[in-house]
Amino acid sequence: MKNQKYLTVGIIGFVIILPQLLKAQPKKQLINKGVVCISGIYDSIGEADTLTLTIWEHTVSNKIRKFTSTGRVVSVVKNKRFRFLLDSLEEPFYFTLTKITNNVQINLLEYQICCPGDNIEIKIIEAHKFPQKSGFGNNSITFSFNGKGSEKLKCLQDLNNANEILDKNYLQQVDYGSVIRLNNGVVPIADSFSFSYGRMENLLSGQLKILERYKYQLPIDIYQLMKADLVGKYVVNFFVPFLIKFNYPFFNGKSIMSKQDKTDFVKLFQSKVPSFEKFLSFPIKAQVQSFWYADALLYMTYFEGYIVPDKSLYDKLKTQYDGLLRERLITNYLLNNANKRDADSLVNDALTFVKEKIYYNTLAKLLKEQQVGTEAYNFTLEDDLGKIVKLSDFRGKVVFIDFWFTGCGGCSYYFKNVLSKVENIFKNNPNIVFISISVDSNKEKWLRGLNSQLYTSPSVINLYTANKEAEHPIIKQMNVIGYPHPLLIDRNGKIFCNDQGQLKDDGVDGLVSAIKKAAVSL
């Protein structure tokens, strides 16, 4: 699995060729090992609609999976049928099928597994014209799968359908709502841990039984890969809420989780380490290829650092693992922490031992694009009045950019407690420009966010990514992996500071100091 590619075709008719990857093939060639055909019929597709197939031949980080797109192929819609022909594939890969209607993207199928040689027929029936949810979780859309390799999609559909039922049954059994009410909404960490762990175990137990029913319909390596995905996903979902409580928000040294809460969590986690290690025991190939596994292992290693705090997380990953798994974990970690204070030195160190081409190139590209002094991406975006704004419009001035979205609690906290105060300090300085960029899904939502004045102020330049959300090139080019995400650009249009510690975590003083330094730099 090498990288992510967008392959867009409409319903069968005219296909634009992407060399090596998407080719028109005689039907008899579909039995070739490296060729994949994904086709079908979609009853509610319109002539002006498009279907997009995004594939991941190699996943580095599930969290920032959208950053590896390389191209898009588009065709017109015809006769409600669609067909994707993919060539030069050597390993199992993941794909997402997306419908684009009036520039609105709806993911129909997400992160499905496919193998070289598959010939899958998909029938899509839509009960409502404009579904509001994506994929299997959308009750207004039904799918049926046939053909070689379709058992993987059938299994994933069964797993998804069972998830809500399993979760509902567990919630009814434990009556977690009463725990919340008894504690006035503040649940003790022991109760929170117990509930979350039990929930994960319950879901995994039920889901693994379903996967087991498909075991002998699947190649053994695909069965192990799907199992690694399943376990990895639920382990990640268990850790993420606690990870947020441990680290976010940190402003002026204050955390939303008390020191005692952290101590209690670490003790509880330590008691479950053997169980987590058992959960995460898979063949190395499945560990490396899995969409979710590396993230789960990364979180495990992170919290283990609180049990034995002898090394940094980077050093733990470097010394505890080896081979391709170490290279993927290191690359994953650095991609998700590219804006930390010591990121450049860590990337340079990783480049001395990372050998796999996809990981090495990812790190080299990250270092090149994110280094201080690198030319910042010259975006072109629309403001709230419809005016087109470019970064180059502000050459000669220091530019501060804040990325956010409506509903982001951390974004509103940052604006209220840090950014709004800093804007006020520099409000009379014409050489300091403040820009806010929203990744909201549509203009109406963005304007509601603007009008609320919870995330930005009307006195700054307010832009948005024109319905492209996090898939806009600016998000990839500026390595925005979380929100809020501040960035400081100097008078020459180059990155001056992307250190989230100084721009965000150090509060008003840290941000003011960075802006003043940028203002006097040459």
- The pTM of the full predicted model, rounded to 2 decimals, is 0.79
- What is 100-165 written as a DSSP string? EETTEEEEEEEEEEE-TT-EEEEEEEESSSS-SS-GGG-TTEEEEEEEETHHHHHHHHHHHHHHHH
| pLDDT tens digit sequence for 73-86 | 455 567 888 988 88
Per the structure, the count of domains in the chain is 3
Whether residues 177 and 65 fall in one domain: no
Let me know: does 236 contact 297? Beta carbons within 8 Å: no
Select from 147, 177, 203 the last residue of a domain: 147
Residue 138 has pLDDT above 70, yes or no: no
Give the pLDDT score at 73: 47
- Residue 370 in any domain: the answer is no
Whether residues 141 and 166 fall in one domain: no
Peptide bond into 249 cis (omega under 30): yes
Whether residues 112 and 240 fall in one domain: no
The one-character DSSP state at 176 is H
Residue 255 has pLDDT above 60, yes or no: no
- Domain holding 219, by residue range, is 158-309
The overall average pLDDT reported for the chain is: 83
- Residue 351 in any domain: the answer is no
Whether residues 284 and 418 fall in one domain: no
Give the pLDDT score at 288: 92
CATH code for position 451: 3.40.30.10
Let me know: does 437 contact 464? Beta carbons within 8 Å: yes
Let me know: does 362 contact 331? Beta carbons within 8 Å: yes
- Residue 404 in any domain: the answer is yes
| pLDDT tens digit sequence for 24-47 | 333 443 345 678 899 999 988 887
Distance CA 117, CA 93 (A): 12
At CA 398, angle to CA 365 and CA 474, rounded to 5? 35
Whether residues 139 and 80 fall in one domain: yes
Burial class for 40, CB neighbours closer than 10 Å (0-12, 13-18, 19+): buried
| pLDDT tens digit sequence for 394-409 | 999 999 999 999 988 8
Let me know: does 459 contact 423? Beta carbons within 8 Å: yes
| pLDDT tens digit sequence for 328-366 | 999 999 988 877 777 888 999 999 999 999 899 888 888
β-strand partners of 383: 463
| pLDDT tens digit sequence for 421-436 | 999 999 999 999 999 9
The closest of 312, 422, 333 to 62, measured between CA atoms, is 333
Residue 22 has pLDDT above 50, yes or no: no
CA atoms within 13 A on the CB side of 288: 21
Give the pLDDT score at 180: 62
Distance CA 381, CA 398 (A): 18
- Residue 324 in any domain: the answer is no
- Residue 332 in any domain: the answer is no
Give the pLDDT score at 362: 87
| pLDDT tens digit sequence for 285-304 | 999 999 999 999 999 999 98
Select from 309, 333, 361 the last residue of a domain: 309
Select from 88, 116, 147 the last residue of a domain: 147
- Residue 400 in any domain: the answer is yes
Whether residues 212 and 268 fall in one domain: yes
- Residue 327 in any domain: the answer is no
User: Which tokens in the block code for residue 64?
Assistant: 């920032």
Of the two residues 342 and 224, the one the predictor is more confident about is 224
